[in-house]
Structure 1
Amino acid sequence: MSTSSVAIIGAGLGGLALAQGLKSRGISATVYEADSASDSRIQGYRIRIDAQGQQALARVLPPALYQLFRQTASVASTEGRFLDRAGQQANGRQPEGWHRAEQNPDLAPDLSIHRQTLREILMCGLEGSICYGHALEGYHRESEGRVGLRFTHTAEASCRLLVGADGVNSRVRAQLAPDAVPADSGYLCLYGKSALTADKALYEGTNVLFCDGFSAIVDEMRFRQDFTALAAKAGCDGRLTQAEDYLYWALIGPGSRLAVPFGNLSLPPALQKLMESTRPEHTATLPVRYGNPNIAWQPGNVTLLGDAVHAMSPAGGIGANTALRDAADLATALHGKGLSGIADYERLMLARGNAAVADSAIAAARLSG
């Protein structure tokens, strides 16, 4: 049986950010991931990191890795273009979280980064602390305040603190707060990437197109830097995969509108061409679920962060950013107060998470109205 001070279930962005934050504060942690490898399945493509997400990353990453994050990301258009089917400006439908830079001069511009690139940056220096192929079955209380972990087909483990960062289908949440099952929103998110060969009108910053009962988001991703050289300079030599340029797209709306073949969606011609040019293996469908706002449990040495506790629609663009803030706050709380700081962390995390879930639901309605 292996032992650790902190056991983190899930090697997503939130779990890895927490591991980095704990490492920088001298707290030992082990990350347990059910997947067999970091790149064993598609987990998304473009991700936008807002000013608060950037601040959270700066709190958990060593300066060299934080600089690597910024160097491998491109500055996103925070305003974007909101267009109707005819390509005309559609005003008044921007989600609140999609702030306009000129209205928020004190906020740093959003950064767009390839999700796998950010994961690899967050994994730098943690290679000996991530255990792949460890699917959690459940946990149990042990003597002296420890938590025992049971995994499918692997050895057991033990820790002083268990953190569920294992996403919307969290096994930790299912045992800690079994009645707080995430709700099916009825929405779907279809996403993918295509080569930069589509209509060049789609390349101008971030484009949001309002279609018939759903919206399409199209964002150009260009990587002008040599990742290998940048990684070597940051001390992450050979561990950063070069991302190729691509056009990211996502469709967000009710499942009743999107659960049909692309050819039946009545898309604008440029968008239809983009869909048809996308290889099937570069697309994925994500059912949108919302975290239960009434979730509650007795504070102790089992806690949650990110989608494991407050899953939300990607329409607001704040899910990953909220998880990163959770990770930074939890690392700070544990460093300052140890286990006694968990209750304060949970109060802040739950309030922030519930507000983010509500905001994302409003954003989804605006993008689908």
Structure 2
Amino acid sequence: MNHTPARIAVIGAGPGGLICARILQRHGIDVTVHDLDASATARDQGGTLDMHPDTGQYALRAAGLWNDFTPLARPEGEQWRLVGRDGQTLFDAAPPQEGRGRPEIDRGKLRDLLLGSLNPGTVRWGHRLQRAEPLGEGRHRLHFAHGVSSDADLVVGADGAWSRVRRVLSDAVPVYTGVTFVETGLHDAALRHPALAALTGDGTMMALDDNLGIVAQRNSGGHIRVYVGMRTPQDWYRRAGVDPADPHAVRDALLERFADWSPALCGFITDTDTGYTNRPLFALPVPHTWDHTPGVTLLGDAAHLMSPFSGMGANLAMRDGADLAQALIGHGSLDDAVTAYEEILLPRSIEAAEGAAEGIDGAFAPDSAEQTLAHMAAHH
């Protein structure tokens, strides 16, 4: 690669794509990242992430960013608490001591860290990919929504759940998992919502029972993100005659579903500062594989979209990005590098996706409280 300059285009400025670009640039390899967002601040990046040692942490170290990451992380955010539907704590795991665990970081802060590590102009914002046109010999022409096109010798699909790059390699499309989250949130929780803040603790609180769940996740700045989960048809609000844009109607419908839950837990539904956002959960079929095609590959959700109950999505994407970059650095040709990368990526993705499918099925089941308690006790 150092002797054969190539045009490398990463589609998607998520953690995996940015890690890949950062490592390539550290080794003097040019790369361009295209993202559909109008700017780095165009939308909320979501909740908090725990960085696993062999995936997210590995990628940060490979990118030379570990020392920049640690001041932004929240080790206390590793606390896990399981609560019954009556509001009583069933299990409470404190974070590991001496930095041996999985420190938390807000997604927005992680993205800012990665973006700040790249050369100016690396990311081209407002570039929504429409299609990748094969030109032969592994080259592709990228056509963007605003009429601009560019050619690449390698296209890296880091463009998430509804990847346009994936269409070059696979006919697979994400399918509904049967579970929907309704996201809400609490601002300045310690002062405005002290009882809910205490119930959440310093990390993540989960209450799961009989195909329902409430997950509260501590973020920085005193904010708590809340996910109200249900195993339900994807169009549950339509069947219930609820306008998802009407917060009062959504609140009342959720309270009806959780009518026999503790009032303390129902406070996560009623005491919203952000309103309600409907988020059906999708996953790619398992296993998701593709035949090697010169000049194009995938990483992250584009390759292995899975439920958030794996706890692995962003971490795997970052490890994917690091592995792909290191393969490109270490091999003499693009095709040899991508072949080597995919030989690592595909079996790892299948294993993780199988675990994620089992995780969400166990979390939203008639006996989910018992299953979750047994799982947490076994892993802490």
1:287 aligned partner: 280
Q: CA shift at 1:352, angstroms?
A: 0.9
Preserved contact between residue 316 and residue 363 of structure 1 (Cα < 8 Å): yes
Instruction: Name stretches of at least 5 consecutive residues in structure 2 with no aligned partner.
Output: 238-249, 366-380
Q: How many residues in Structure 1 have an aligned counterpart in Structure 2?
A: 334
Preserved contact between residue 49 and residue 111 of structure 1 (Cα < 8 Å): yes
For residue 165 of structure 1, the aligned residue among 158, 166, 169 is 158
Inter-CA distance 21–268: structure 2 relative to 1 (3 Å threshold)? farther
2:218 aligned partner: 220
2:112 aligned partner: 120
Alignment of 1:1-369 (within 5 A): 5-62=7-64, 65-76=65-76, 78=78, 80-90=80-90, 108-126=100-118, 127-142=120-135, 145-177=138-170, 179-195=171-187, 196=189, 197-198=192-193, 199=195, 200-205=197-202, 206-222=204-220, 244-256=221-233, 259-260=236-237, 261=250, 262-266=254-258, 267-280=261-274, 283-292=276-285, 293-337=287-331, 338-339=333-334, 340-369=336-365
> What per-residue deviation string (whole Å, max 9, x for no partner) do you get for residues 39-66 of structure 1?
222331222222223333324423xx43
Inter-CA distance 59–352: structure 2 relative to 1 (3 Å threshold)? same
Q: Which one has a bigger Cα radius of gyration? A: 2
Corresponding letter in the other structure for 1:245: G
Inter-CA distance 169–204: structure 2 relative to 1 (3 Å threshold)? same
Q: CA shift at 1:12, angstroms?
A: 1.2
CA distance in structure 2 between the partners assigned to 1:367 and 1:351 by the alignment = 25
Corresponding letter in the other structure for 2:219: M
Instruction: Name stretches of at least 5 consecutive residues in structure 1 with no aligned partner.
Output: 223-243
Q: Give me the CA root mean square deviation.
A: 2.7
Preserved contact between residue 47 and residue 106 of structure 2 (Cα < 8 Å): yes
Preserved contact between residue 77 and residue 104 of structure 2 (Cα < 8 Å): no
Inter-CA distance 142–120: structure 2 relative to 1 (3 Å threshold)? same
Inter-CA distance 189–76: structure 2 relative to 1 (3 Å threshold)? farther
- Tell which deviates more after alignment, 140-149 or 202-211: 140-149
Preserved contact between residue 77 and residue 218 of structure 2 (Cα < 8 Å): no
- Tell which deviates more after alignment, 27-36 or 212-221: 212-221
CA distance in structure 2 between the partners assigned to 1:287 and 1:58 by the alignment = 30
3-state DSSP class of the match of 1:110?
coil
CA distance in structure 2 between the partners assigned to 1:8 and 1:257 by the alignment = 32
Inter-CA distance 81–4: structure 2 relative to 1 (3 Å threshold)? same
TM-score (norm 1): 0.82
Preserved contact between residue 180 and residue 294 of structure 1 (Cα < 8 Å): yes
3-state DSSP class of the match of 1:250?
strand
3-state DSSP class of the match of 2:177?
strand
CA distance in structure 2 between the partners assigned to 1:274 and 1:88 by the alignment = 15
> What per-residue deviation string (whole Å, max 9, x for no partner) do you get for residues 216-267 of structure 1?
2223234xxxxxxxxxxxxxxxxxxxxx221122233413499452332314
Corresponding letter in the other structure for 2:297: T
Preserved contact between residue 183 and residue 278 of structure 2 (Cα < 8 Å): yes
